[in-house]
Structure 1
Amino acid sequence: MRFVRGLCCTCALLLALSGVARAEGFALNEWSARGVSLAGGLVGRADDVSALAYNAAGITQLPGTQLMAGLAFIAPMGTIDADLLGGRKHDTTTKPATFLAPHGFVSHQLNDDFWLGLGIFSRFGVGNSYAQDWVGRYNVYDVGLQTISFVPTVAWKINDIFSVSAGVEVLYAGFYMGNKIPTMQLTAAGPSQGSDNDLQLQGDGWGVGAQFGLHMRFNEQWSVGLAYKSQVTLNIDGEVEFGRQGEPNLLATMGRVPEARNCGANATVQLPDSLALGVAYRPLDELSFEVGAVWTRWSTYNALNIYMDSGYASLNDKAARDGLNLNASVEYWPLDWWALRAGVSYETPVLNEKHADFLMPTYGRTTLGLGTGVKWNELTLDFAYAHLWIHSMDYGQTDASGLLAGPGSPSRITDAHSKNVVANIYMFSVGYSF
């Protein structure tokens, strides 16, 4: 009954928040306050219930029933520096916004050998918004991808050293995007440019994958973890709506833009699989270190193609590169009830400059995490802060639709790059042991 009560509480909280959960970036790892302050260094440690996201095999270290829930507040900001036709320059900063990423976990020990768990967290997310009249509006002015994964898991303690886990991931995603459509009308004097039309795309969908974990605790000092998350094929169905429906547009008759007719739309996105490794060392009971790496096969994200029922298709090559995240962390308990934490990570660039767009103005990132935690009897409370330095993207060679000036393009941008792109993350987690 304790497991059932904990499961119901966790699901209720996460479902209430998931409708507004958004985060800057594409791949997320804001899965617990402790994990964020340790820069993801919970694959080898895996010694609290948020291991259900980092390395679920580690829950075999947890007695009884464990419950955790919390929320991340993610505040991104960045600037696009654009060169325009005629030699002018134009800087645009994203609109200030704070996005939410919830998490919740519950585990229960069935006996000496088996554990059950449920993790609910966001693995992917994008959130960027620009002024509707900015120079890159023909590419995008507003975009959001929000996901929530439900991962029921079973873990088996094979012996005192080896534990394994397996889980089924059911992923829900909501997607929206807004961009401007240039118009051209035929007048007595010939073709004449009209005011921009507005295009809004909204949709959602489901995907299914799997997650597997391995935890090896060799002795009181050393432990190693491996965690694999499979690919998820995401099928999104939605609708396209125009600000002015039915408006004649010569560019639409030429096939350069969609005709202004509300219709259905669909897209298929291949979300990547990943493999994480963590090596943890605990020289003292109150002190631990971990180094780790996460390889993500972003090369499976090769296109973002949107097909409209009107017959128009928005085809966008991506050809992303596989990515590597390297991290290191330290945790110290100066008192039995108080912990101090710090972690740093570096992520290699994954977006291809030849197909880059303004949906994600990023080219790798460096993260510093800091945090603290307290425990009182069965209750734990963790806080974290992380600062992300997001490396600049150069758009000078991209072929993304509506981004650079050229034959048939409405854009006036000749070159562009992102700058001063950062994100601040504030996070808390509350845990309880039954």
Structure 2
Amino acid sequence: MPQRKPSFLLVGIVFSLYQHHSQAAGFALFEQGASGLGNAYAGASAIAEDASTIFFNPAGMTYLEGRQILGALHLIKTTGDFDNQNTSIVGTEGGNFGSLAAIPNFYYKQDINEQLKIGIGVGTPFGLKTEYDKGWLGRFQAIKSELKTVNINPSLAWKLNDQWSFGFGLSAMWAQAELTSAVNLVTAESSVVNKGKDWGFGYNLGAIYQVTPDTRLGLAFRSKVAQHLKGDVRSPFTGLNSFPGRTLNTDITADLTLPETLSLSSFSRLDEHWELLTDVTWTRWSQFKELTIARDNGSNTVVGSTQEHWNNTLRYSVGVNYRYTDSLKLRSGMAYDEEAIDNNHRTGRIPGNDRIWLSLGASWQYSPQTTFDVGYAHLFIKEASIYDDQRTPTPGKGLIDGKYDGSADILSMQFTHQF
């Protein structure tokens, strides 16, 4: 496997320390700044109150003066349990496949002049981890599923006039995936481990329209990022000339397209104390039709293929801010987040469903230059049904027939300094 370029080595090491969990539809992550969590990320493309706008809408940099540095950390605790409905299948229910994770963000912004602003953001826009007990009944479909990403996002913003601002950014995204499952060797069981990584590239665009001095609208688009993952598979058998009991490595490839998103947000200052925020975000998950892993030896022989057939999704959110004092702002928000997976295509790897966010937060301006933010959200995840017997080589072996129940808690902290 090729070595990473030294200029990206430190970033890759830092982000690889953290386990990633999907908290939005599919395996997207909204946790790109702590200030927005208290509003369930309502108004994220329009509020433009700190440098995290580089991710949500780069045009928002025109509303920030001087240089600003921002660091955020998100602690995510997920819980998930499977309730087996078919007692004839041998194996456990997998235990709690959730865990505790930490996800960081970093942003820097500065002025070129009064009209032009530049910035850079580093974050994790996609991530996933589920891991079951090795003896669980669905082990032939999935044991461990993990996706890590690091996105480096340099951006430029231009203020046309008092009403219009525009932004543009480039994305260099590193992705790494690992998928493991059990295999039946007739007289025994073993496991298959698929690993791969790649760099992919995309862009993001944004515009903000100042409707009145107290109201603005934001529109933001992030392009898809095509990943051509390359790695290897460790398997007890990899072809006709192999035999059980021997572990062999084979180079593999897998194409993964991380979807585009389109967000429309509003921000309104109702009076000297109250602010209202809204957002609708569309994600094009429908292009994720299948996940196919093939040998990287010129033959393109398929090692494994999973039919996905995901659906496009919408996420709706609304938030309210209350300025308690000049230095303290209180936040609240809620969101309804559609899942991309329907009951007919749900798998043990990503057993998610629609979810409701309830969020609270606060912003404390410690000094004219320094602000601290904290946010908390609880996610109620709708019970999900599953019947999956199509992804195992032995019919009836490892049948997943039952229901999933889960929830998530997110605690975010942020430091912002103006200089």
TM-score by length of 2: 0.90
Separation (CA, whole Å) in 2 of partners of 1:73 and 1:211: 26
Q: Which amino acid aligns with 1:423?
A: A
Q: Which amino acid aligns with 1:379?
A: T
Q: Is the contact made by 1:38 and 1:330 (CA closer than 8 Å) also made in structure 2?
A: yes
Within the candidate set 201, 213, 223, 1:208 is matched to 201
Corresponding position of 2:385: 394
Corresponding position of 2:416: 431
Corresponding position of 1:154: 156
RMSD between aligned alpha carbons? 2.5
Q: Is the contact made by 1:161 and 1:216 (CA closer than 8 Å) also made in structure 2?
A: yes
Corresponding position of 1:409: 395
Corresponding position of 1:299: 286
1:242-268 Cα shifts (integer Å, max 9, x gaps): 3xx46xx9xx7599x999521111100
Unaligned stretches of 5+ residues in structure 1: 1-10, 185-193
Rate the CA distance shift 1:134–1:293 in 2: closer, same or farther, 3 A. Answer: same
Unaligned stretches of 5+ residues in structure 2: 1-7
1:158-206 Cα shifts (integer Å, max 9, x gaps): 000100001111111111122111112xxxxxxxxx2211222222111
Q: Which amino acid aligns with 2:293?
A: I
Q: Is the contact made by 1:354 and 1:399 (CA closer than 8 Å) also made in structure 2?
A: no
Q: Is the contact made by 1:81 and 1:89 (CA closer than 8 Å) also made in structure 2?
A: no
Q: Is the contact made by 2:139 and 2:398 (CA closer than 8 Å) also made in structure 1?
A: no
Rate the CA distance shift 1:423–1:330 in 2: closer, same or farther, 3 A. Answer: same
Q: Which amino acid aligns with 1:388?
A: L
Separation (CA, whole Å) in 1 of partners of 2:373 and 2:199: 32
What secondary structure is seen at the aligned counterpart in 2 of 1:354? coil
- Within a 5 Å distance, the mapping from 1:2-401 to structure 2 comes to 15-25=12-22, 26-41=27-42, 42-84=44-86, 86=88, 91-184=93-186, 194-242=187-235, 245=236, 260-309=247-296, 311-377=301-367, 378-396=369-387, 398=388, 400-401=390-391
Q: How many residues align?
A: 402
Q: Which amino acid aligns with 2:41?
A: G
Corresponding position of 1:418: 404
Q: Is the contact made by 1:346 and 1:365 (CA closer than 8 Å) also made in structure 2?
A: yes
What secondary structure is seen at the aligned counterpart in 1 of 2:19? coil
Rate the CA distance shift 1:70–1:220 in 2: closer, same or farther, 3 A. Answer: same
Question: What is the CA-CA distance between 1:349 and the residue it aligns to?
Answer: 2.5
Q: Which amino acid aligns with 2:126?
A: F
What secondary structure is seen at the aligned counterpart in 1 of 2:286? helix
Rate the CA distance shift 1:340–1:369 in 2: closer, same or farther, 3 A. Answer: same
Separation (CA, whole Å) in 2 of partners of 1:89 and 1:182: 14
Separation (CA, whole Å) in 2 of partners of 1:202 and 1:87: 29
Separation (CA, whole Å) in 2 of partners of 1:344 and 1:400: 37
Q: After TM superposition, which residue ranges in structure 1, 4 or more long, deviate above 4 angstroms? A: 11-16, 87-90, 252-255, 257-260
Q: Is the contact made by 1:387 and 1:425 (CA closer than 8 Å) also made in structure 2?
A: yes
Q: Is the contact made by 1:215 and 1:224 (CA closer than 8 Å) also made in structure 2?
A: yes
Q: Is the contact made by 1:324 and 1:348 (CA closer than 8 Å) also made in structure 2?
A: yes
TM-score by length of 1: 0.87
Question: What is the CA-CA distance between 1:393 and the residue it aligns to?
Answer: 2.1
Which entry has the higher C-alpha Rg, 1 or 2?
Answer: 1
What secondary structure is seen at the aligned counterpart in 1 of 2:212? coil
